[in-house]
Structure 1
Amino acid sequence: QSVTVARTTRPIPAPFFVLATQNPLEMDGTYPLPEAQLDRFFFKLNVPYPSVEELVAIADRTTGRDSRDLKPVADGPTIVAMQQVARAVPIAQHVTLAAARLTRATHPDDDHAPDVVRRYVRYGASPRGMQAIILAGKIIALLDGRYNVAIDDLQAAAYPALRHRIILNFEAQAEGVTTDAVIEAVLNTPALAA
């Protein structure tokens, strides 16, 4: 893997990842990413506004004399090894099938798509969405001390893995329908459990 800037190509060390923020309050001077670029992000996490206690902690850390001595918790090779362990977690065929059905049910033309999808979704999640659900499910299983993926793990991963991959139509935006509401409807679709 490499990055090219101003016709100069540089190799990217492993692991490589990008963290990005999206502030809904200040859009001046920024441009929304196209759907194909959004799809390349593994997760979209919604971070709520800090509580009063969290704001006080932020103030203490950033305006006082608190100089924390930060140390790395893992190096590149360790992170790559952790990625390999996560990918090695087995997943039963019926769980993979559930991930595929879940992803497919985000598309308005799918037989099992709930009404909210048919009415409000312009484009459903891509195969990358399914891959993110499965990989995150493997990590959730490991963090829970299990070496196999359960359907509950996929459901836990669905919101952050799909919320930026489901493109809503104008009607949804006008009525205040969110992608999380769409994902909830998909997760509650009885046909997905079959």
Structure 2
Amino acid sequence: DLATEREILLATTGEAEDSVTNVFSAEELLAAQTLLRRMPVGEGVMESILALVRAFRPEEADASERVRESVAWGPGPRASQAFMLTVRARALLQGRLAPDLSDVIAMAKPVLKHRMALNFAALARGESLDGLIEAEIAKSARLKDVA
């Protein structure tokens, strides 16, 4: 609402500066990044990541009719890379030593929705990327039992 937007505007454009607190030292951050990249990822998780990313490319033979009719441009290979790293990070933050399909489902929207766009017709129909991603996850035989 207007009052909240006013508060945000004043809080973020004035003289006062927020203090920054270190969470990691540079060495700790590099060590965490190395650990993350060394985490094993099972074949099922990797295949699910690839299948989901490719499912949102309208030019792919396996793309659903809804994706072909709704997506202007789909996620590229960098989406798969980001997906792999985020599922690892989520697992690590939850104290697990490897990601599973629940991580794929949880990270699908944050990873995919800013790496693709709906076309004008889909927007005019009131579709959303969130809804499209949820629908494709629900259709995925691999992910359906986990969702």
Q: TM-score normalised by the shorter chain: which range applies?
A: 0.7 to 0.9
Structure 1 residue 179, shift from structure 2 partner:
1.3
Give the distance between the partners of 1:103 and 1:172, measured in 2 at CA.
Answer: 19
Task: Answer 1 or 2: which has greater helix percent.
Answer: 2
1:114–1:189 Cα contact (<8 Å) kept: no
- Shift in Å, 1:116: 2.4
Runs of 4 or more, structure 1, over 4 Å off, are 67-70, 191-194
1:162 aligned onto 2:109: no
CA contact (8 A) 1:116 1:185 kept: no
Q: Deviations over 1:102-160 (max 9, x none)?
A: 11100123344333212101211111111111110001111111111101101111111
CA distance in 2, matches of 1:140, 1:148: 9
Cα distance in 1 for residues equivalent to 2:61 and 2:32: 38
Q: Of the candidates 54, 67, 70, which is equivalent to residue 104 of structure 1?
A: 54
Task: Tell me which residue corresponds to 2:80.
Answer: 130
**Residue of structure 2 aligned with 1:186, choices 112, 136, 147:** 136
Say if 1:193 and 1:112 are closer, same or farther in 2 by CA, change over 3 A.
farther
User: Which residue, out of 146, 149, 161, partners 2:99?
Assistant: 149
TM-score, scaled to structure 1? 0.61
Where in structure 2 are there 5+ consecutive unaligned residues? none
Compute the TM-score of the two structures, normalised by the length of structure 2: 0.79
Query: What letter matches 1:106 in structure 2?
Result: F
User: What CA RMSD, in Å, does the superposition of the two structures yield over aligned residues?
Assistant: 3.1
- What count of residue pairs does the alignment treat as equivalent? 143
